[in-house]
Amino acid sequence: MNRAFGITATDDRRGAEAVAIAAEETGYSAIWTNDGVADGVATASWMAEATGLIGVGIGVVACDRMPAGDLAEKIKAVVLPLDRCVIGIGSGFSSNPIADVRAAVGVLRSSFGDEITIAVAAMGPRMCRLAGEISDVVLLNWMTPERIAWARRRISDAARGRSSNPRVASYVRVATGPGAAGRISAEASRYASIPHYASHFSAMGKTPGEVGIAGDFGELETALQEYEEVLDELVVRGVPASGDVQSTLEIVRAASGR
């Protein structure tokens, strides 16, 4: 099992570098960022430059917002060591999500060949099956351990005939300290305001406040181990008490398993 750490894409280069360095020094296997609020490719490149061995993931770039050809050119323009990076593709708000993600993955394969490791963001059964067919990594989000096991079955079924199954990773929201449960609930509720996430929470039979982990060290570790049992890579996505880097670094330490 690999435990990674994830942050929101940011314009704060020094902050991103500080979290990446701390994650590497603490023993995390990878550092991930998303894309959209800020430039995920730039954030990932800063984290890669600041570290030496840790994996770096971008999870994910929505193909309806950035065409895969433009993404490929952007990757080539920055310092991003592909031998330790995962480039994630998601459907965003595409009206043809399966076809558009399949096409985007094809463009990246054509641009980089075997150099690139591609993740596909999946949530529903159709995207889980597509990810099982074409991705190197399947990136899940806002799931319980039981729902991850459900997704894995669909991914594995679709991957039959491949030489190996894709690795299954998932963001798991984590908060610590006073107000931790409220921060998790607020973050989940923000996602649940988006129709396809609202449907996702409903399909799991969970309210937004019931997905994610809030607590102190012992509670965190017990809950994280439940996720580790069903994942190849658990990506701790910190929900800090404030926007300063120190609040994020507290979660880096608390969720490290050390």
Q: What is the model's pTM? A: 0.96
Among residues of the chain, what percentage have pLDDT more than 90? 95
Give the model's confidence band at 200: pLDDT under 50 very low, under 70 low, under 90 confident, else very high.
very high
Average the pLDDT over each of 31-35, 76-80, 84-88, 202-206 and give the range with the smallest value.
76-80
SS3 of 15-66: HHHHHHHHHHHHCCCEEEECCCCCCHHHHHHHHHHHCCCCEEEEEEEECCCC
DSSP state of 166: P
In which band, very low, low, confident or very high, does the pLDDT at 142 lie, cut at 50, 70 and 90? very high
Return the amino acid letter for 100: D
Phi-psi category of residue 113: left, alpha or beta, with phi > 0 → left and psi -120 to 50 → alpha: left
Distance between CA atoms of residues 204 and 106, nearest Å: 31
Q: In which band, very low, low, confident or very high, does the pLDDT at 73 lie, cut at 50, 70 and 90? A: very high
Q: 3-class DSSP state for residue 118? A: strand
- The set of residues, in sequence order, having a beta carbon less than 8 Å from that of 184 and lying 6+ positions away, is 173, 175, 209, 211, 212, 213, 214, 239
- CB of 79 within 8 A of CB of 42? no
- How many angstroms separate the Cα of 215 from the Cα of each of 34, 140, 149, 210? 24, 22, 24, 13
Walk me through the domains of the chain, giving residue ranges and CATH numbers. Answer: 2-254 (3.20.20.30)
Report residue 90 as tokens.
């998601």
Q: Which sign does the torsion angle of CA 191, 86, 66, 35 carry?
A: positive
